[in-house]
Amino acid sequence: MKSLWTLIKLYLNSIFRFQVMRHSNDPKERRNAIMGVVAIVLIVVVYGGMSGVMTFELLKAGIPASVPFLMAAAMASLFALAMAFAQGSATLSGFSDFDTLMGMPVRTSTIVLARFLALYLVEAIYVVAYLLPCGVVYAVLRQPVWWFYPLFPIMLLLLPVGPVVIGSGADLLLSAAFAKSKYKKGVTSAIKMILLLGFIVFAYLMPQLRRQFLSNPFEMMNVTARIYPPARWFSDGAAGDLRLALLFSGASLLVCALFVFILNKTFLPLHDRLAAGYHVKNYRLGALKRSSAIRALFMIERKRFFNSTAWVINTIIGAVLILVLGVAGAVLSGRLSTLLRMPEIRGYAPAALIGILIFCATLSPTTCCAISMEGKQIWISKTMPVPAKKWLNAKLCMNLFLVLPPLLVTCTLVAAFYHAFLSPVSLVAVFLVPVAALLFTTVLGLFVNAKLPRLNWKAETEVVKQSGAVLVMMLVCFTVAAATVVPTLLFGKEWIAPAVGGALLCGTAAFYAYLMRHAEQIRMNL
């Protein structure tokens, strides 16, 4: 038991970096660790507030308590499923310190259980934060039976078990199936991206689904129960059905035990297969291609990006959303044009279109992780005989390569299909402001990552999900969109958006000049 608890603490410390916050003498390291925890706290507070408000509104309207519990449980389970599917194989069997752990005097079953519990605890933070306000609001408004108070926390802790088992199990099977394939990274990243897009679509449709629940709650509950029965067991059990509460708790524990047992039996062969990778047969050295330094560095950056599934999933979503919105806007231009012609909406159309483009263009730039993703191999970049300016420019080009082409396509489609709602000034702003915002966040992301690097990571998810640079750029994304849309809506002046675009270009030039002037110093200080 002591070994198990020690391994869990080590893994959680590697994610949340508590030891760095307490004992590190490096102010940058401590600040970076604190920012990562702040990011998690912000997400938890936002999730909890959303679910608490939703539950309060539904219960005040006289809706049965099982309805908000089911909605919250379905959303939290889907989120845990998506996150477990995104990082299950890397956490459970593909971790980088495998040789170190297996050389310790610890049983394999202890390592397996510790990895599973660590993955479960990370997902449980978000699930508990999302559903706990539901239980508190329900207890205050409806005053449930006495056994609700001891049993609900237990059910709440067990809710992530099913999604974590399903998501991580599917990720392990997928990774094992394509482990020796040449296109392993591409296939797995594409499948995970589809799942993530499905989660985003589900979150976008939540208002419509809530209306469906309100109009016919019992039919919707039956549909959800057929898709994922444990969500129905949880909701009815939390609402007062003791039999279903015990069924949910027992089934969750049984599924957890079976999964850990199977994983323990297949742990070593599974890790060997995941670590084997693809090897070219009958390799022959042909002609070597020559290229410029900046092109070679860009190719290295592109390969590093697409070889990291976690990095791809967390950053390419903006480019995908831009293209999806552009195509959808073109296909649905007839219906949307009718909506935009309404007098109460027509005046807000330009600002809304520009705001959506800015939000998608600035969502998670690759540059906020580009330096940190080199990790312990940063010494290669520090010692190669290439100017640091070219090294930084290659990282900037990577984000522009991903986002700029779909952004220009979508801006062109918006201008072509919605020009009737755009004045000449707004038409210029549709191109100018999103591109300026993209350039600004691209350069600023690299600047922030240079100030808040995280190079001593063990899992890529520590960089792309929990680093301080990612949190800062998330806040910048919302700030840039709000700084463009809100003043335009408040004052109704068309020139505000192009003025913001010009300000963003000036900020881009200032940050870029700083990076180029201090490029060598930035690289050597890492």
pLDDT at 495: 76
Q: What is the pLDDT of residues 368-395, one digit of tens each?
A: 888 888 888 888 888 888 888 889 999 9
* Local confidence band at 93 (pLDDT 50, 70, 90 cut-offs): low
Residue 4: both structure tokens together: 């198990």
Residue 39: phi and psi, rounded to 5, are -60, -45
Q: Give 277's pLDDT tier (boundaries 50, 70, 90).
A: low
pLDDT, position 509: 92
What secondary structure does DSSP assign to 120-175, as a single string? HHHHHHHHHHHHHHHHHHHHHHH---TTHHHHHHHHHHHTTHHHHHHHHHHHHHHH
Supply 186's token pair. Answer: 């591409």
Q: How many domains does the chain have?
A: 2
The mean-pLDDT minimum among 93-102, 325-334, 397-406 falls in: 93-102
**Per-residue pLDDT tens for 461-511?**
777 776 777 878 877 877 877 777 777 666 667 777 788 888 889 989 999
Residue 135 has pLDDT above 80, yes or no: yes
Among 276, 309, 335, where does a domain finish? 276
Based on the fold, state whether residues 308 and 390 are members of the same structural domain. yes
**Domain limits for position 166:** 2-276
Task: Note whether residue 17 is domain-resident.
Answer: yes
Of 88-92, 229-233, 400-404, least confident by mean pLDDT is 88-92
Q: Average pLDDT, whole number, for the chain?
A: 78
Question: Taking the CA of residue 182 as centre, how many other CA atoms within 13 Å lie in the half-sphere pointing to its CB?
Answer: 2
Of 228, 247, 276, which one is at a domain's C-terminal end?
276
Do both 11 and 123 map to the same domain?
A: yes
The verdict on residue 286 lying in a domain is no
Question: Does 133 lie in the same domain as 12?
Answer: yes
Q: Kindly state the helix (H) or strand (E) to which residue 160 belongs, with its residue range.
A: none
Residue 206: its pLDDT value, please? 57
Residues 347 and 407 both lie in one domain: yes
287 within some domain:
no
Q: Among the three residues 243, 276, 309, which one is the final residue of a domain in this structure?
A: 276
Same domain, 245 and 346: no
Say if residue 38 is in the same domain as residue 107.
Answer: yes
The reported pLDDT for the residue numbered 514 is: 92
pLDDT on residue 77: 82
Do 312 and 272 have their domain in common?
no
Q: Assign 512 a pLDDT band (cuts: 50, 70, 90).
A: very high
Same domain, 44 and 156: yes
**Structural domain includes residue 285:** no
Tokens matching residue 352:
């809304």
Residue 283: inside a domain: no
Q: Report phi then psi at 93, rounded to 5.
A: -140, -15
Q: Using CA atoms, how far apart are residues 59 and 54, in angstroms rounded to an integer?
A: 9
* Encoded tokens for 287: 């002609």
pTM of the predicted model, to two decimals? 0.66
Q: Residues 269, 312: one domain?
A: no
The C-alpha angle 290, 295, 300, rounded to 5 degrees, equals: 100
Is the residue at 132 inside a domain?
Answer: yes
User: Rounded to the nearest 10 degrees, what angle do helices 161-177 and 242-276 cross at?
Assistant: 20
- Whether 282 is in a domain gets the answer no
Same domain (yes/no): 326, 270: no
* Residues 233 and 298 occupy one common structural domain: no
H or E segment to which residue 315 belongs: helix 309-315
C-alpha span between 112 and 116 (Å, rounded): 6
Q: Are residues 356 and 316 in the same domain?
A: yes
Question: Is residue 186 a part of any domain in this protein?
Answer: yes
Residue with tokens 């881009």: 508
Residue with the bigger pLDDT between 78 and 459: it is 78
Specify the amino acid at residue 352. A
Could you tell me which residue, 423 or 134, shows the higher pLDDT?
134
